[in-house]
Amino acid sequence: MKKNLETLCIHGGWKPTKGEPQQLPIYQSTTFKYDTSEQMARLFDLKDDGYFYTRLANPTNDAVARKIAALEGGVGAVLTSSGQAASFYSVFNICEAGDHFISTNTIYGGTYNLFGVTLKKLGIECTFVDPDWDDERIEACFRPNTKCVFGESISNPGGNILDIERFARLAHAHGVPLIVDNTFPTPINCRPFEWGADIVTHSTTKYMDGHACQVGGVVVDSGNFDWDAYADKFPGLTTPDESYHGLTYTKAFGRMAYCTKLVSQLMRDLGSIPSPQNAFLLNLGLETLHLRVARHCENAQKVAEWLQAQPEVAWINYAGLPGNKYYELACKYMPKGTCGVIAFGLKGTRQDAIRFMDSLEFISIVTHVADARTCVLHPASHTHRQLSDEQLIEAGVAPDLIRLSVGIENVDDIIADLEKAMKK
């Protein structure tokens, strides 16, 4: 029976049978026992499925990955120790030194730095494009060695909406997959695979966990991209891997090729796994994801409408507001709502913005976003402080931008706290 998202949030992944625990158990074990040497050898040759070492696979982590894959409508998923690790693995699984890829420039500051600075040191070059550019200008950025296109469904912190169908079309016209970081809308509000994206990543640290108790990430594969059709671009997937006796991922694993390679090469060598305990906490969060996301959006809509009416507010970017530049794209890709994160600027100086934030009562100043508690951040003084004003604007972050992450408290209390601080 095909299940709806709300049911998958509860029943996806772990499927207990007779006498097994109803709640997902925490397999807090580094290793798993076998009876014969032959059994173990077959696992190492990727001939049998099974657990042997938690860096490569763990039953708790796998159950949570299966739940997220089901929510996104993918064929497989791999949990990582952070969203950063997920972004890195998603690209590094198909790019190596000498390769090139394209990313929108309106992405999370950490990802911008990973792509623009750290991957460059590994010999992988990223061209950042403005998602507002026309097709021709974006097409001009593709090169023979371009291997993927990356964007965020809703950008953090700017709140811009990615035209997923358009970017999928541009990527596919050049024989490469589209990777979408779907952290902010979550699969409850947006399912990028339905619009042509090939791979989805998440920082599960945000809404998926939702309680600010674990840092994690996930890479999900739709299984739809035909690597063999562009075999010369993706030799890592389409030619023999000598570290597994000459096995070829696409031949041996079909639609699971990308995920299998990610685990058997990248996890094996780089090892950014979450602890089973963290995967368990993430799973608890996922059980209520559909309830929380709906409330985040309902509250954020009311807060955004209130902010828009305040004389102290210079500008506001929330795609749920009619008249917003991204309103139509939001209606198309996220008809149930976008997310709880609002970007706005106050009239007055940078100092006024800081005084406003310092005057808030229960709304806290934290680096985090997208969990149950309402919080604020000033990216120019916090997360993005290593960027110049010019780079900030290029990354879609106005120097006066305040990022307000609306939680699931009573919305009247949230507005009262904002109002009191604004009057100060």
Rounded to the nearest angstrom, the gap between the alpha carbon of residue 375 and the centroid of all alpha carbons in its chain is 20
According to DSSP, residue 273 is labeled P
The amino acid sitting at 398 is A
| Alpha-carbon gap, residue 154 to 107, rounded angstroms | 9
183 binding ligand PLP? (CB under 6 A): yes
Place of tokens 């039953």: 59
405 binding ligand PLP? (CB under 6 A): no
Residue 1, number of CB atoms within 10 A of its CB:
3
Q: Between residue 348 and residue 387, which ones bind ligand PLP under the rule CB under 6 A?
A: none
Q: How far is the CB of 107 from ligand PLP (least distance, A)?
A: 7
Q: How far is the CB of 81 from ligand PLP (least distance, A)?
A: 8
| Binding-site size, ligand PLP (CB under 6 A) | 16
Are β-strands 199-203 and 100-104 bridged in parallel, bridged antiparallel, or unpaired?
A: unpaired
Nearer to ligand PLP, 207 or 280 (CB): 207
- Residue 60's DSSP bridge partners are none
Q: Between residue 107 and residue 126, which ones bind ligand PLP under the rule CB under 6 A?
A: 108, 110-111
203 binding ligand PLP? (CB under 6 A): yes
403 within 8 A of 367, measured Cβ to Cβ = no
Of 78-86, 165-173, 228-236, 305-313: span binding ligand PLP (CB under 6 A): 78-86
Q: How far is the CB of 393 from ligand PLP (least distance, A)?
A: 19
Binding residue for ligand PLP (CB under 6 A) from 60, 82, 104, 250?
A: 82
Q: How far is the CB of 341 from ligand PLP (least distance, A)?
A: 9
| Alpha-carbon gap, residue 374 to 408, rounded angstroms | 7
Binding residue for ligand PLP (CB under 6 A) from 58, 60, 61, 84?
A: 84
Q: How far is the CB of 267 from ligand PLP (least distance, A)?
A: 16
Q: How far is the CB of 348 from ligand PLP (least distance, A)?
A: 28
Nearer to ligand PLP, 54 or 156 (CB): 156
403 binding ligand PLP? (CB under 6 A): no
| Alpha-carbon gap, residue 153 to 194, rounded angstroms | 13
Binding residue for ligand PLP (CB under 6 A) from 62, 72, 181, 400?
A: 181
| Alpha-carbon gap, residue 141 to 128, rounded angstroms | 9
Site string for ligand PLP, 140-169 (x = CB under 6 A): ------------x---x-------------
151 within 8 A of 181, measured Cβ to Cβ = yes
| Alpha-carbon gap, residue 320 to 337, rounded angstroms | 7
Q: How far is the CB of 342 from ligand PLP (least distance, A)?
A: 14
Going from the C-alpha of 70 to that of each of 178, 191, 216, 375, 385, the distances in angstroms are 19, 11, 18, 30, 37
| Alpha-carbon gap, residue 144 to 40, rounded angstroms | 42
Binding residue for ligand PLP (CB under 6 A) from 105, 205, 250, 265?
A: 205
Q: How far is the CB of 83 from ligand PLP (least distance, A)?
A: 2
Residue 125, number of CB atoms within 10 A of its CB:
18
217 binding ligand PLP? (CB under 6 A): yes
58 binding ligand PLP? (CB under 6 A): no
Going from the C-alpha of 210 to that of each of 56, 108, 182, 186, 320, the distances in angstroms are 26, 18, 15, 11, 21
Q: How far is the CB of 16 from ligand PLP (least distance, A)?
A: 29
Site string for ligand PLP, 90-109 (x = CB under 6 A): ------------------x-
243 within 8 A of 265, measured Cβ to Cβ = yes
Q: How far is the CB of 204 from ligand PLP (least distance, A)?
A: 7
- At residue 84, the 3 state secondary structure works out as helix
Element (H, E) at 405: strand 402-405
Q: Which residues bind ligand PLP (CB under 6 A)?
A: 82-84, 87, 108, 110-111, 152, 156, 181, 183, 203, 205-206, 215, 217
